[in-house]
A and B are shown apart, each in its own frame.
Chain A
Amino acid sequence: MSASDIEAAAARWVDDHGECLYRYALVRVHKPEVAEDLVQETFLAGVRGYEKFGARSSERSWLVGILKNKIVDHFRKLGRETSFTDMQFLSNEYSEKFVSVGFWDHEKGPHEWRPGADEVIHRTEFWQVMRDCLTKLPQKVRDVFTMREMDDVPSKEICAILSITDSNLWVMLHRARMALRECLEMNWFDKPAGGRA
């Protein structure tokens, strides 16, 4: 592939995928300039590795995959600088949802979701609710959750990157899932415009 071909392809990537990569990066790192750098690095890595990109996946998944690695590297560098806070959030057991012996209070247990699973992911409103629910999590908890569930990093690796213990990780993921489930239910699945439409 000639230099001009790569140049043309790269310019097209910026137009086709730049927005998507940037917004995801921004959700993860919160700083526009850092997000922009990560996207830039992703494209550069893309140009260098273009030979290796077969048509196995879509161009976008391939680039998003590179970006995920860049984000994980970014957190790896940050790792030891952040401290473990958010104890208030983590100690919230949602105990009001359980009766004293530890079973669900039937009135407050999970509602039935009718997601229309395949259709929902193409709906802007759903992703907006998802992002807003994520934003409500304390930052460290959100970092752990997104790294695990969106970037698909194995849990052992997350412990190493963020230097937290196994049990801390389980607690954070459990609370994050509980809070996110609750938030999605309230703001999407229980709404007439949501999954029940």
Chain B
Amino acid sequence: MPDEPYNPSPVGNPSVLARRNWWQTMLVKFIGKHTPKCREMVRILSRSMDEPMPLTMRIKKRLHFLICCWCQRYEEQLRYIHETARQFPEQADEVPGPPLSEEAKERMKQKLAEQAL
């Protein structure tokens, strides 16, 4: 189906553009053809968490998001994971798990006291 790069049913599709009329159909086809497919887009989005995305790709991404709210969500969620994950270390004592034993604490205090002298 070379002429049908993307043919989502508009029903229940919350994307900005979703083949709801002739114009949208044309735009959706055009954007679907000239931007990376979702499978590739999610790789690109992951990589952009670690290094800057080139300008042309940023533009393609924006266009792609017009026809694909799922990739847009995916990016938001990666950012969310990125923002929350880094707060985990400071909250680590909130997570149930094997505790640091009292003996270990005493050992540490003792070593620290020796070090301070």
- List A residues at the B interface (Cβ < 8 Å): 3-4, 6-7, 10-11, 14-15, 18-24, 26-27, 32, 36, 39-40, 43-44, 47-48, 60-61, 64, 67-68, 93, 95, 98, 101-104, 106, 109-113, 115, 117, 120-122, 124, 127-128, 130-131, 146, 148-152, 155, 170, 173-174, 177-178, 180-181, 184-185
Contacts and interface: CB of A to CB of B under 8 A. Distances in A.
- Specify the main secondary structure of chain A where it touches its partner: helix
Contacts of A14: 105, 108-109, 112
A10 B113 contact: yes
Q: Interface centre among B6, B37, B95, by most A CB within 10 Å?
A: B95
A-B pairs, top 10 by smallest CB distance, nearest first, are A102-B37, A109-B70, A24-B92, A20-B93, A10-B112, A22-B100, A174-B46, A149-B85, A23-B92, A102-B39
Contacts of B115: 10, 44, 47-48
16 contacts: A3-B117, A10-B116, A15-B105, A20-B89, A20-B93, A32-B98, A40-B108, A48-B115, A103-B38, A110-B73, A117-B83, A130-B85, A130-B88, A149-B85, A170-B47, A177-B46
Contacts, number: 180
Interface of B: 1, 5-6, 8-9, 12-13, 32, 37-40, 42-43, 46-47, 49-51, 68, 70-71, 73-74, 76-78, 80-100, 104-105, 107-109, 111-113, 115-117
Contacts of A110: 70, 73-74, 77
A23 B93 contact: yes
A48 B70 CA distance: 50
B39 A98 contact: yes
Given A64-B90, A150-B86, A177-B78, A47 B116 contact: yes
A182 B97 CA distance: 24
Nearest to A36: B104
Q: Interface centre among B43, B47, B89, by most A CB within 10 Å?
A: B89
Contacts of A180: 81
A19 B99 contact: yes
A48 B83 CA distance: 31
B39 A64 contact: no
Contacts of B97: 23, 26-27, 131
A43 to B, nearest CB: 6
Contact of A173 (B5, B50, B71, B91): B50
